[in-house]
Amino acid sequence: MSRRVRIGVVGGGVVGSLVAAGLAGRDDVEVICCERSAQDMQIDVGTGLNIGPNGVKALRHFLPEVAESLVAASLPWFEWTVALTDSTPLARFELDQLADNPGLRIGWAALNTRLRASAGAAIRYGTDVIAAGQDGDSPFIDLRVDSGETHRIDDLDLLIAADGRYSVVRESLLASDTTEYTDVALLRLLCPAPADCPIDDYGQWFNGPNRLLAFRIPGDRVYCAGAFPLPGDGTLTDAMKDPLAISALFIPPSGQVSPAVRFLLDAILGSGGRLHWARLQERATRLVGASRVVLAGDAAHPMLPTLGQGATQSIEDACVLLDEIRHALAGGGALQDVPAQFAARRQQRIDFVTGFSRDATDTMRAGADPVAGTARKLEPAFLSKLQQLYRDVPRPR
């Protein structure tokens, strides 16, 4: 009996779960997916997310049952509106004019729960990958489990780094590169949505370059993200994190704000400072790590979240990677060409999405005029790129 192909996956998030789900039930491959968190640790960490129409469309091509599971656990994303915080409307993007299907709105915990359920027993929870390396042509990973014991998994035919922005595999196998921090701070929170909540589908509200973003997710909750430029050296101070200081950023000279903005500011003021903070950041794209090593998702291409493409591009990555693995297995099981084939199919698309996301951040930069900037997004050039983003998804070989 021939040896089964062994695939190691670091990270049981979007990419890891989808690849494991797509290979489940096969008797010619062993998938070892290492996830640091415990199985019952499905925490929202103050975060909801929108999955772009392109993510849903790609999943339907490659993993239709998973796609429908996510649709059932989500609210549809039909439109994207932009206004000033005083309620002056600036734009409305109807996704049925730009995409072939709606996007989704969901909480991170619900997303992870659905995806990990689809992966089944392939995920090893409480398993922290602490290093990766090469033994000749074969990659290996070093693990630490909940008990504190460490051991090595070697003799892998393929290693998939899907362990996020701070990827251990990337740091272990590639020369160190620089994370590029944008001088924009980002805060996030989840709050209850009462019966009279004025927030529903995806909306943005600007006061100068200061932007609120919000939408409702299942479970009668609202996800809110606030962003504002950082002054001087880009340091986010404790004073800037004060809810009163945050609220002041979004109040126009008139002092009048829309009901939606009032709701969001009240949620920030009532948060007790329990907000989740980050700085917008990017890093160079790296899709191939070493012989038989492939990087995907945020481990490969951490990008600005302006167009909501982080998890969505991870979905696209997983679909293409799964397709290449299936193709290789059908041809006899040799996986050494998978990293190069994956990179060839994904590099141009990732370059387009990261560049487009960067360009779309113009209205959040210091000194930006959101009225003029949003007007440019209504011009044919931007709308054409949105259609390319939402419609030009990968398809099976």
CATH code of residue 339: 3.50.50.60
For residue 266, give Cα distances in angstroms to 20, 224, 227, 271.
42, 12, 16, 8
Pull the structure tokens for residue 158.
């393929």
* Helices (H) then strands (E): counts for the chain: 11, 19
305 belongs to a structural domain:
yes
Please tell me the total count of domains within the chain.
1
- pTM of this structure: 0.96
pLDDT, greater one: 129 or 232: 129
Compute φ and ψ for 66, nearest 5 degrees.
-65, -40
Condensed to tens digits (0 to 9), the pLDDT of residues 312-338 reads 999 999 999 999 999 999 988 789 999
Angle subtended at Cα 79 by Cα 74 and Cα 80, rounded to the nearest 5 degrees? 110
**What is the predicted pLDDT for the residue at 46?**
59
Give the Cα separation of 110 and 23 in Å (integer).
22
The share of the chain scoring above pLDDT 90, in percent, equals: 84
229 belongs to a structural domain:
no
103 belongs to a structural domain:
yes
Region 103-111: what's the mean pLDDT? 95
127 belongs to a structural domain:
yes
Condensed to tens digits (0 to 9), the pLDDT of residues 210-223 reads 999 999 999 999 99
Over 70: is that where the pLDDT of 1 sits? no
262 belongs to a structural domain:
no
Condensed to tens digits (0 to 9), the pLDDT of residues 3-37 reads 799 999 999 999 999 999 999 999 999 999 999 98
- What is the band of 42 on the pLDDT scale with cuts at 50, 70, 90? low
275 belongs to a structural domain:
no
313 belongs to a structural domain:
yes
> Can you give the residue range of the structural domain that contains 384?
5-178+282-391
272 belongs to a structural domain:
no
Condensed to tens digits (0 to 9), the pLDDT of residues 271-323 reads 987 899 988 888 889 999 888 999 999 999 988 899 999 999 999 999 999 99
Condensed to tens digits (0 to 9), the pLDDT of residues 365-384 reads 999 999 999 999 999 999 99
Condensed to tens digits (0 to 9), the pLDDT of residues 339-348 reads 999 999 999 9
